[in-house]
Amino acid sequence: MSGRGTAYVSGASSGIGRGAAVRLAADGYRVVLLGRNEARLAEAAAECGEDARYAAFDVTDPAAVENTLPALIDQHGPPTAVLHNAGQTIVGALDQLTPNEWQRQMDVNLTSIYALNRHLWPAMVPGGGSIVLVASTASFAAFPQDAAYVASKGAVLALTKAMALDGAPHGIRVNAVCPGFILTPNLQGFFDSQDDPSGAAGGAAAAAPLGRMGSPEDVAGAISFLFSPDAAFVTGTPILVDGGLMARVPG
């Protein structure tokens, strides 16, 4: 067992999840990477070192979670840290979305947390620990043509607070990171869906007062803090990692 216990990371094959997994391994956790793409998970696990493990399955599929996660917990130990990072952006105004698109957005960004938590939470209760949910600046303010994503991330922030209250008696802290424009494959897909992808990317970089888009490593630093003893009195709290985006009054 690694010095700080075992960290389970969903959506770990790329972007924020991959960056966070690498950081948590450096912090001294044994990292268990969860996601759908086995090849990319294997690459990410290799970056995390020899102690890292991975499992490829669909975290939105209750049967797949049921068939995989309990055995992982038995094999690698109960979680001391959990990062719920599985995420997707499905673009469209509410009236433009098909029922399948709406449901898929909710399944990936929200229901996956429920499905994983059903197994990870009871395993964490005896010893306590820390959970971080990846929310968004969209948890606070909306973007046009992004209704399902905004709705799902608003729910993630509300769920963070509810879980924090339920976890406090068990020594489980629950917080959220709220990234702004972080250059990941998911965000690139959003840019690519726009009429002017390069203009959309340039606008995102210019939107933050710090004058750039963030990196997965920027978010991983905030996640590392929330899992650390330095955050021992922090729970139910969102931390914006947005380069100052939400501090600016548009004008």
Q: Catalytic positions, please?
A: 149
- d(Cα 144, Cα 215) in Å, to the nearest integer? 23
Residue 108 DSSP code: I
For residue 47, give both structure tokens. 């970056």
For residue 127, the SS3 value is coil
For residue 1, give both structure tokens. 């067992």
227, exposed or middle or buried, with CB in 10 Å at 0-12, 13-18, 19+? buried
DSSP3 helix / strand / coil % (the chain, rounded to 5) = 55, 15, 30
How does strand 30-35 pair with strand 53-56?
A: parallel
For residue 19, give both structure tokens. 């960056």
- d(Cα 146, Cα 86) in Å, to the nearest integer? 18
